[in-house]
Amino acid sequence: MSRKELSPEEILEGIRDMTIRGAAEIGRQASFAVRLFAEREFDNDRKRYLEKIDEFREQALKTRPTAITLWSGLTKTLSGTDQAKSSKEILELIVENSERFIDLSKKSIDIISEMGARRIPHDAIIMTHCNSSAAVASILKAHEQGKIEMVYATESRPKRQGYITVRQLAEKGVPVTMIVDSAARHHMKLVDMVLVGADTIASNGAVINKIGTSQIALIAHERRVPFIVCAETYKFSPQTFHGHTVKIEERDHSEVIDPKKFPGVKVSNPVFDATPPEYVDAIITEVGIIPPFAAYEIVVHNFGLEMLSSEHMKEGFLNDF
Ligand code: RI2
């Protein structure tokens, strides 16, 4: 699906139904959607214009509740607009901010992949879970350097994003084996390193990623296999800095089973889980490889203590996310 052909509302619908997915991608798409909206809805009345944009932002935030990237993309794109003197200035800022955010987001993955490949040993057997563009980019970079012996990729039920991962790797000639999620422990004895992405990193270093990640981290810990997370710094959550917990998205039960075929059966379908920082060996960000406990530093580096302690940040729109 080409982003340019979609309306802002269609982009939000795509994020909601997961035809647009992946934490980084939904951040970029939300940024682009609010830009498209601001261009289409241009209004010389500055106050009314800002209100309309804010309403769209609210709608965008509701599409998927867990990945902080949605919030980060929107916040970075709208940064400074409340200070802008005219509607024209607001639009110019949005366009400039959005282009910068999307560009930096893509560049971050390139930098992470360089560092990630450096950490991957020769003849490496890697395990990955779900489909993370940052983790896949690191594996591909290491493959270019002739370092990958095998990648075990989990299916990642219920949505099976593992299919995307195995295709992306196989297309580039990376040796890859698909396994069902429950086969992770069986294969861990062969693995040199687990490499996954993240949807959100809490300020204590906990990693919120696709459901099942924490089980894999636990198994890796048991086997003393390094568990490495690839995450751009805009995935670090200032909300958790203020004590808000990350909301775990519960998706439709039909993703798990057809309810009509199982009358009387309840279904639980949380799509993310939290891996405690104790099980995370390192987080590869575009500003360097950090221990999970340095997450706080990243949040402060990203927003500054002054902004983090401002009432706007603490009591404003953050609360409803
Ligand atoms: P990148 C995905 O979420 C997966 O949980 C994946 O690990 C994470 O986003 C990060 O992906 P979903 O949209 O940002 O499939 O590294 O629910 O691409």
Q: What does the pLDDT look like over 233-270, one tens digit per residue? A: 999 998 888 888 999 999 999 999 999 999 999 999 99
Q: Which residue's alpha carbon is at the smallest distance from atom 16 of ligand 1?
A: 132
* For residues 273-302, average pLDDT: 95
Q: How confident is the model at residue 311 (pLDDT cuts 50, 70, 90)?
A: low
- Is residue 64 lining ligand 1, measured as CB closer than 6 Å? no
For 21-74, the pLDDT digits (tens) are: 999 999 999 999 999 999 999 999 999 999 999 999 999 999 999 999 999 999
Whether residue 156 has pLDDT greater than 50: yes
Residue among 184, 211, 206 at smallest CA distance from 268: 211
The CA 89 to ligand 1 mean position distance, Å, reads 34
Whether residue 307 has pLDDT greater than 80: no
3-state percent helix, strand, coil for the chain, nearest multiple of 5 = 55, 15, 30
Whether residue 321 has pLDDT greater than 50: no
Annotation says 252 is catalytic: no
For residue 319, the model assigns a pLDDT of 34
For residue 15, the model assigns a pLDDT of 98
**Chain centroid, CA 166 distance in Å:** 19
pTM given for the model: 0.94
What is the SS3 string spanning 30-47?
Answer: HHHHHHHHHHHCCCCCHH
Alpha helices, H only, 81-183: 87-119, 133-144, 162-171
Annotation says 130 is catalytic: yes
Hey, what domains does the chain have and what are their CATH numbers?
3-106 (1.20.120.420), 110-320 (3.40.50.10470)
**Of 54, 110, 123, 199, which one is the catalytic site residue?**
199
Residue 121, token pair as written in the block:
């040993």
* For residues 215-221, average pLDDT: 98
Higher local confidence (pLDDT), 308 or 273? 273
Cα Rg of the chain (Å, integer): 20
Residue 111, token pair as written in the block:
């930098």
CB atoms within 10 A of CB 206: 24
For residue 241, the model assigns a pLDDT of 82
Q: How confident is the model at residue 4 (pLDDT cuts 50, 70, 90)?
A: low
End-to-end CA distance of the chain: 28
